[in-house]
Amino acid sequence: MPTAAFAAFDAKSPLRAHTVERREPGPADVAIDILFCGVCHSDLHFAKSEWFPVDYPLVPGQEIVGRVRAVGSDVKRFKEGQLVGVGCLVDSCRTCPSCQENLENYCTTGMTMTYGSPDPKGGGMTMGGYSTAMVVDQDFVLSIPENLDPAGAAPLLCAGITTYSPLRHWSIGKDSKVGVVGLGGLGHMAIQIAAAMGAEVTVFTTSAGKAADAKSLGASHVVISTDADAMAAAAGTLDFIINTVAAPHNLDPLIAALRRDGTLCLVGVPASPHPSPSVMGLVFGRKSIGASLIGGIKETQEMLDFCGKHNITAHTETIRMDEINEAYERMLKGDVKYRFVIDMATMSA
């Protein structure tokens, strides 16, 4: 099916209009008319070929919310008109130990990403949500709670699960003391989710102007990370820190902020490595550095249900599809609070 989209054709040129072919729905497929697609920093990294070699043209977009247009004969969980989502993956091997444990994101043979992966069903490469429609296997489609604003729910499909998954894995709950590094697209989700889990949240930011926003999102404390005295006062106070910053920086002051047996979890992926942390800061306190990558389908649905229960969505700015290149430039400058979302109704406007 010819489908309107926006694509990157090389690493340097602006994205522009394109037409992609979507497969005809099979018995296990769900055809979705896309309403909104979030703009993730990963989209920019991929479009610019900063992480991996990219096969162009590339249609980004992995924070997708839409309505079901049609379902295959074997589909029982979804119906026409239902509000659904598609996140960062659309298939996996389904047989490896990780897949069998509902951790398709850690598939041994490699998950099929929503864009930029070889497409085992349609041939060619997968094409993402910067488009008006897509067809997805029912096992990788998610139900969006109807009480959530669809535009605000879109970033939950990447930013939401990227922060929810490590908070769940490290058993964050009531009485946990959690640090969040960076108040951006990921950080503002981490604050809301950790607070809803019952944690006392401390935000580390370089910008004093973000303190009021951090507290309105649920933070109890704000530490300006460039203030040596403030960082010294935070030493040894936190059980867990989720670091959302996607730029290289010194991890040692954050490690110092952990209590004994605390964990610093990295979810922001810089284009070049962080400076190596001091081993001394880790061994004196039995502290750990970990990392986390999105979540499997079961956990992503759990996250969506949690956000529905607590009425959590991303704080978004809605843009037209033809404003995507300007949005990329603004995103690089941190000029968005806190996530761009594309209104797909503007594709033909």
Do 9 and 142 fall within a single domain? Answer: yes
Please, what is the average pLDDT of the chain?
96
- pLDDT of 36-90, one tens digit each? 999 998 999 999 998 888 999 999 999 999 999 999 999 999 999 999 999 999 9
| Coil, helix or strand at residue 316 | strand
> CA-CA distance, 154 to 84, in Å (whole number)?
10
Res. 267: pLDDT tops 60? yes
User: Is there a domain that residue 307 lies in?
Assistant: no
pLDDT of residue 181: 98
Res. 349: pLDDT tops 70? no
Do 124 and 218 fall within a single domain? Answer: no
Domain limits for position 244: 160-291
User: Is there a domain that residue 264 lies in?
Assistant: yes
Q: What is the mean pLDDT of residues 112-120?
A: 95
The CATH number given to whatever domain includes residue 59 is: 3.90.180.10
Looking up tokens 């389904």 gives 94
Q: Do the beta carbons of residue 62 and residue 158 sit within 8 Å?
A: yes
Res. 348: pLDDT tops 80? no
Asked if the bond preceding 57 is cis, omega within 30° of 0, the reply is yes
Q: How many residues does the chain have?
A: 349
pLDDT band at 308 (very low <50, low <70, confident <90, very high): very high
Q: What is the mean pLDDT of residues 132-141?
A: 98
For the ranges 47-51, 92-96, 214-218, 226-230, the lowest mean pLDDT is seen at 47-51
Do 137 and 40 fall within a single domain? Answer: yes
User: Is there a domain that residue 15 lies in?
Assistant: yes
Do 129 and 86 fall within a single domain? Answer: yes
User: Is there a domain that residue 191 lies in?
Assistant: yes
What's the total number of domains in the chain?
2
- pLDDT of 243-262, one tens digit each? 999 899 999 999 999 999 99
> CA-CA distance, 118 to 126, in Å (whole number)?
6
Do 119 and 213 fall within a single domain? Answer: no
Do 146 and 170 fall within a single domain? Answer: no
| Coil, helix or strand at residue 268 | coil
Say what the pTM is.
0.96
User: Is there a domain that residue 24 lies in?
Assistant: yes
Do 327 and 253 fall within a single domain? Answer: no
Res. 318: pLDDT tops 90? yes
User: Is there a domain that residue 302 lies in?
Assistant: no
Q: For residue 99, what are its two tokens?
A: 């897949």
Do 116 and 259 fall within a single domain? Answer: no
Do 27 and 150 fall within a single domain? Answer: yes
AA identity, residue 257: A
The CATH number given to whatever domain includes residue 175 is: 3.40.50.720
Do 242 and 168 fall within a single domain? Answer: yes
> CA-CA distance, 127 to 113, in Å (whole number)?
9
What are φ and ψ of residue 135, in 5° steps?
A: -125, 125
Distance spanning both ends of the chain, measured CA to CA: 20
